[in-house]
Amino acid sequence: MFSSSERKCRIIISTLASTPRPSPSPHVPIIEHSRPFCPPTAVLRDERKQIDCSRPGSCTHWGVVAQQSAVYSSLTHCIRRHSSFLTMSGLFKRIYHEFHPQPPAAPSESESSSPLKIGVLGAANIAAMAIMRPAQSHPDVVVLAIAARDHARADAFARKWGVAKAYGGEGAYQKLLDDPDIDAVYNPLPNALHYEWTMKALAAGKHVLLEKPSADTADETRKMFAFAEKKGLVLLEAFHYPFHPAFQRVKAILDGRELGDIQSMEVSLAVPAGALKDSDIRFKYELGGGSVMDMGCYCLSIARDLANAAPVKVLSASADTSSAFPKIDIGTTATLAFPKREHAENATHSGSESPAVSEAETFPATLQSHFRLPPRLGFVPAMIQAHVKVTCERGELYFYNFAWPSFYHYISVKKTDGKGKTVESRTEKC
């Protein structure tokens, strides 16, 4: 529990040696990623006590980006390009296609003979956007089964989405895992249930697409990925953005050093007060709630991907709390130190993401997540924040809406002469 006197706190984040990628399976080829997987360990401390990160809802668990694989490539939307992104008609067209994907092209003989068969654990609201609609646009993916604790809910979900098998009631999740026709499982259960049912899915020989964050604790995360590797299965944390052309373009600009080395970074994902109901599971401590556990994992994920490294130190951190939800953080702002390019590359080559570096060899990244941004001037509703701002030696890059780029996004690039004078400005969309 955080009191007002405890809002100023320090987070100590240590990282582990990189974990080898799982062996390729005949169903799912592995896509190489620019940096090795390395789950973080985090502990929150203040002057009087230590709060163990193993407790669900503690504001210290930042999500982990796992190995990128073709599992999610086959589940995400086919990205549709539109000639106009700035017109209202272009925006509404993109939103329409997001919720009404075009029918897939006729599958080839090889595709139709062996589609990837998915089972969904839980009839969660997120399943519609995260798995059901994307699957409709892919001929090589079939959502074959749904499991829910309530029979009626499982049946209703199956009817709505045309799912062939519905498992409901006590033991429904295990019945789905025992189904020999299922190749892979999508796990959108509450955070506190991720570890249990992911481990059971892996034990049943299923690949797993796992909602973020992977688990309530770093230790659970390590165990899951180690078990997946041992079983030769793919376990992938379900971040969408790495597979979108917009993120790949941002990455290319930064990795290509068009603007020079990164000097600082700001990442924010936050929603205004009133956007989430009090009954939302994000506010439930026992289910792994809290802003860092929900939105904050996006912020750290993209910061790590753009930095090509894990943070080596926490420079500052503060959490906002609410008397209505005293066990979780409503919002958290943290500034982390990331190793600069040369040291990040050395760490990657040596197999470690946390090299010993001096302060001069790092750059700061400020990350913000918040469930209830207060009104501006006390009455003007706050706007949703979902952006990345990267300041480099010779300019600045701003990526708007990194979390949901398929709805709308833009990339703003400002190049300078190194002395502060702007020599080029442009806006890109993908």
Distance CA 412, CA 395 (A): 11
Distance CA 427, CA 243 (A): 20
CA dihedral 253, 13, 195, 230 (to 10 degrees): 70
CA dihedral 156, 159, 165, 167 (to 10 degrees): 0
Specify whether the CB–CB gap between 202 and 231 falls below 8 A.
yes
Q: Which of 14, 22, 418, 39 is nearest to 195 (CA)?
A: 39
DSSP at 122: S
Distance CA 215, CA 235 (A): 12
Please state, in angstroms and as integers, the Cα–Cα distance from residue 18 to each residue in 67, 156, 226, 423, following that order: 11, 43, 11, 40
Distance CA 174, CA 204 (A): 9
CB atoms near residue 202 (< 10 Å): 23
Specify whether the CB–CB gap between 191 and 198 falls below 8 A.
no
Sheet holding 207-210, edge to edge: 165-168, 141-148, 116-121, 184-187, 207-210, 235-237
**3-class secondary structure, 301:** helix
Please state, in angstroms and as integers, the Cα–Cα distance from residue 429 to each residue in 23, 206, 401, 402, following that order: 35, 37, 11, 12
CA diameter of the chain: 66
- Identify the active-site residue in 206, 212, 231, 415: 212
212 is catalytic: yes
For residue 93, give both structure tokens. 């067209």
Residue spans of alpha helices (H) in 44-102: 70-73, 88-99
Answer whether the bond into residue 339 is a cis peptide, omega within 30°.
no
Distance CA 360, CA 427 (A): 32
Q: So which residues are the catalytic ones?
A: 212
